[in-house]
Amino acid sequence: MYNIGIDIGGTNIAVGIVNDNYEIIAHAKCKTEAARPAQNIIKDMADITLQALESAGLSLNDINSIGIGCPGTVVAASGDVLTSNNLEWQNLPLAKMFKEHINKTVYVENDANAAAYGEYLAGAGKGTKSFMTLTLGTGVGSGIIIDGKIYSGCNSAGGEFGHTVIVANGYACTCGRKGCLEMYASASGLIRQTKEAMLENKDSLMWQLVGGDIDKVNGRTAYDGKRKGDMVAAEVVDNYQCYVAAGITNAVNVFQPQVLCIGGGISKEGDNILLPIIEIVKKERYSKNNPVQTEIKIAARNNDAGIIGAAMLYKLHQNI
């Protein structure tokens, strides 16, 4: 039997058919267009699910379950989305509404938790008992796995490490606080920091990299500038990595997971981001004299982790 994973992102919705070896044998995707009514988005989710099935040469009879990773606060037991700022959903019975289109067993989980579960099963966290992910994307997603189960607190809102403060009275966050990790360690935060540095340094090489158009700055611009010897870009990168390391150090101090992995587009920098962060965490972690330490890695499954984790949510419900 196969399971289907659906990952709802801010830009795209991705669907994958996953086999028992955690391999994705078929994909399909569509634009999220989050401002639309929920029922329209859910219909598109069902349509691309059927497209993926057709691409794999399978039917619904070959499917055990469907799992959905959704941004926001999700009640896994009921499949309801209590709130999702990205989608502007409140008290939405997502599992029930999806089943109106495809009548299979449906599970729903927070998207970052689903991605963490996918990495735990088939990626950087494989073989661990305690595992954590930080995904550096538009925001900072985080997921915590303890003894094979997703940690979500007493009210399904736990594990939101992106909304811990690292700069008192810093930049205003969408959550209502100021100085959240998400505002400094996300790709969006890096882009903002890059633009600020460029505006203050008109002779920076980064201007050439974007053809003089500051709107073309992305998460790679500062790293590309640093590689070319631009000192302004190097300072942006160094400061950014200090912010990321601060968040990771906090996470290590609180949870002491066996493995903590960094995901998201910026993680494609590999050792360029990983090694400096490891050195900072080594100096700053509370447990520096302990013989057992958290291993910090780059995510192994990255964009596929959310699909794999969502597809395998049925395993968690089997264990309840």
Nearest to 278 by CA among 294, 265, 257: 294
Give the C-alpha separation, 49 to 56, whole Å. Answer: 11
131 contacts 123 by C-beta, under 8 angstroms: no
Q: Which two tokens stand for residue 132?
A: 């954590």
List CB contacts of 33: < 8 A, sequence separation 6 or more: 41
Give the C-alpha separation, 91 to 109, whole Å. Answer: 14
Give the C-alpha separation, 48 to 67, whole Å. Answer: 14
Q: What is the pLDDT of residues 160-193, one digit of tens each?
A: 999 999 999 999 998 899 999 999 999 999 999 9
Q: What is the pLDDT of residues 72-106, one digit of tens each?
A: 999 999 999 999 988 989 999 999 999 999 999 99
Determine the average pLDDT of the residues in 197-213.
Answer: 98
pLDDT band at 10 (very low <50, low <70, confident <90, very high): confident
Tokens 């949870």, residue located: 255
- Look at residue 319 in the predicted model and tell me its pLDDT: 56
309 contacts 117 by C-beta, under 8 angstroms: yes
- Look at residue 56 in the predicted model and tell me its pLDDT: 97
- Look at residue 22 in the predicted model and tell me its pLDDT: 97
CA dihedral 298, 304, 307, 310 (to 10 degrees): -20
pLDDT above 70 covers a percentage of the chain that reads 99
Computed on alpha carbons and rounded to an integer, the radius of gyration of the chain in Å comes to: 20
pLDDT band at 132 (very low <50, low <70, confident <90, very high): very high
pLDDT band at 205 (very low <50, low <70, confident <90, very high): very high
pLDDT band at 21 (very low <50, low <70, confident <90, very high): very high
Tokens 């009879």, residue located: 61
Give the CATH class of 2-119+304-318: alpha beta
Which letter does DSSP use for residue 11 in this model? Answer: S
Task: Indicate the CATH number of 127-299 among 3.90.180.10, 3.40.50.510, 3.30.420.40, 3.40.710.10.
Answer: 3.30.420.40
What is the torsional sign of CA 8, 9, 11, 13?
negative
- State the span(s) of the chain assigned CATH 3.30.420.40: 2-119+304-318, 127-299
Sheet holding 130-136, edge to edge: 149-150, 140-146, 130-136, 259-263, 295-298
Q: Is the pLDDT of residue 47 over 60?
A: yes
Tokens 């998207």, residue located: 111
Q: Which two tokens stand for residue 319?
A: 């264990």
Angle subtended at Cα 238 by Cα 233 and Cα 239, rounded to the nearest 5 degrees: 100
24-28, 48-52, 137-141, 277-281, range with the lowest pLDDT: 137-141
Length of the chain: 320
Q: What is the pLDDT of residues 237-270, one digit of tens each?
A: 999 999 999 999 999 999 999 999 999 999 999 9
Summary mean pLDDT of the chain = 96
Nearest to 234 by CA among 223, 247, 245, 246: 223
Determine the average pLDDT of the residues in 38-52.
Answer: 98
Q: Which two tokens stand for residue 315?
A: 């395993």
Determine the average pLDDT of the residues in 278-282.
Answer: 98
Give the C-alpha separation, 253 to 233, whole Å. Answer: 30
Buried b (16+ CB within 10 A) or exposed e, 188-200: bbbbebbbebbee
- Look at residue 85 in the predicted model and tell me its pLDDT: 82
pLDDT above 90 covers a percentage of the chain that reads 94
Nearest to 138 by CA among 269, 270, 10: 10
